[in-house]
Chains A and B, each alone.
Chain A
């Protein structure tokens, strides 16, 4: 028996090794074939067809929309062939772009999460777009982009990206649940109302909301309390002010009374979605990118969905989010021209309307918002319009080089304050601010 098993084990090991080699081989062949076919089609079309790579994040509806637009682009002309490659979530994408850049193998165009624009631009990985935009200003119409979305497009006064799939967090409401509990489905408009609603829902054996500890939502609640994450010059942490502590105190109090649930850990975001989809909690905070998918869930589970602004404390307020399209700096001049043509095409009025309707991300251009097509769409599905209106209260995300690290420090501090009854939100945030200041002063 044992001899047979060892033989089996050996066979497995050898197979594994072979499989590993096989994957590499196949991958190589696949790339070769793709390059080959691109070349041959280039020869059949025009002699100087150029191939560029575009790396993107996320799957499902988002991927569908991106691939659809890339295909349309490739079919719309015969000078440029764009090869789109999926690279996971934003963090994975960023790590891969960085490694590829260091290896001299970066894609010509990539998605870039907006808060990372600073660190990528300042380390010289991005091509400045100012002169391209100046040259093609009549075609590009830079003024047409929603000004609320341009804050993260500039780094130190220079243009580095164009808004692509941009979002804000919004409040998703299970209106059926609210009506059953005798609550006005138009609310909650403020933190107090959110608390009152949650109390009523708790009596019905439900939860007000499941909220993951997430830096993006925290940024929103700080904005609603009238605070700032960092000082204007980006040298000092401001989130340990009263306005920065208010959200954590609010969350901690509601969570300790069992009015809301705050899961932590890697699955926390998924848990919040599941609780909401399973009608355990009436509300969720989520990106506007989820409107289409959430409408499908609501329909499938037989409840009515509405969206609204995130509830206000002192005022309404949200960060923007999502990604812009950027160009890497080490490509050849021809590749950069091709990349620029592609970026212009992807961010056009028609395409921003398409991706908005297909996924739920914001329409980035004012002309798109005012178009008849979207006006009609908003009338039919008011859930889509909320994020557009909420942009009035939107602000850019911090773009300091150290911000990704600071975001993690803040997240840990909030988790600690919420999980540990003995840690006060103010103390936890003070500790985080001390660490953040050290990083910011470098």
Chain B
């Protein structure tokens, strides 16, 4: 084998490796490095503080609130999006003009920029002048405060996330459903399997790779929610919608505490990393691949 033949594969992957290292690997290590300093991004001196930033973070009640907000938001968004999308997909998985239209309509939020969506929902959810409260009023209920009260603000953001993610999730589910061979269903029918049993014993296991995929991407996506919060609530009222990524942004770019923000970033990296690994280890065994 010539030298060229040995080196060629490395040469081929080099561009990808370089880009990946520059934009993903290097920032991670730089963030870990920064998390041990007290620095404002611009002053010439960085002060080494060791693990002080982490100690401050974990002793800060606001940060613990931020962690719990993020967890609640993620749990609600992932379960609702995936659950509703599955129901929707089961209903839409047939051929008719109407179902095709509904499918397209539900998918459309996916292609709209999240910034536009946030602005739109801010208007819809305006407690005084919003369309949602008008509809609720027509139905004879008391108006809701939506984003303006700590008890409803986080759930309102979940609503927006579910609305935005539903179409894409349903689309992937439909693809999953259609890839299940018809023969298996025919066999089940011959065995006089009840619809519920067919769903539990056949459809769900066959869909498990799809479910696995959707849950993991929704999970990671929800943990990193930023745009809706930056535009719709800025973490308020009373910190009720502040989540990890917005918190990091606030401390990094608003209060100029890049070390503290990096420490929060390291914690985010750690949580998402652990979640992903645990999820792969625990659940991948139960996923049915053909």
Contacts and interface: CB of A to CB of B under 8 A. Distances in A.
Interface stretch (A141-149, A157-165, A264-272, A290-298): A264-272
Interface string B100-120: 100110010001000000000
Interface string A82-122: 00000000010011001101100000000000000001000
Interface in B131-154: 147-150, 153
B133 to A, nearest CB: 12
Given A98-B41, A274-B129, A404-B254, A265 B107 contact: no
Contact of A99 (B95, B100, B231, B253): B253
A98 B42 contact: yes
Contacts of A404: 254-255
Contacts of B148: 263-265, 267-268
B256 A264 contact: no
Contact of B238 (A91, A102, A416): A416
B174 interface: yes
Interface residues of B, number: 39
A419 B147 contact: no
A136 to B, nearest CB: 28
Contacts of B227: none
Contacts of A401: 256
A441 interface: no
Contacts of B95: 1
A266 B122 contact: yes
Contact of A275 (B103, B128, B150): B128
Nearest to B153: A265
Contacts of B254: 91, 94-95, 404-405
Nearest to B148: A265
Contacts of B233: 265-266
B236 interface: yes
B232 A266 contact: yes
Contacts of A16: 111
B171 interface: yes
A214 to B, nearest CB: 12
A416 B232 CA distance: 19
B43 interface: yes
Contacts of A408: 250
B51 interface: no
Interface string A280-293: 00000000000000
Given A419-B149, A419-B150, A12 B111 contact: yes
Contacts of A411: 236
Contacts of A271: 126-128
A267 B126 contact: yes
A2 B175 contact: yes
A401 B95 CA distance: 63
A417 B103 CA distance: 46
A124 B232 CA distance: 33
B107 to A, nearest CB: 7
Given A1-B95, A124-B43, A419-B237, 10 more contacts: A5-B107, A6-B171, A95-B253, A99-B41, A101-B42, A125-B42, A264-B237, A265-B237, A415-B238, A416-B238
Interface of A: 1-2, 5-6, 8-9, 12, 16, 91, 94-95, 98-99, 101-102, 119, 123-125, 263-268, 271, 274-275, 401-402, 404-405, 408, 411-412, 415-416, 419
Interface of B: 40-44, 95, 99-100, 103-104, 107, 111, 122, 126-129, 147-150, 153, 171, 174-175, 178, 231-234, 236-239, 250, 253-256
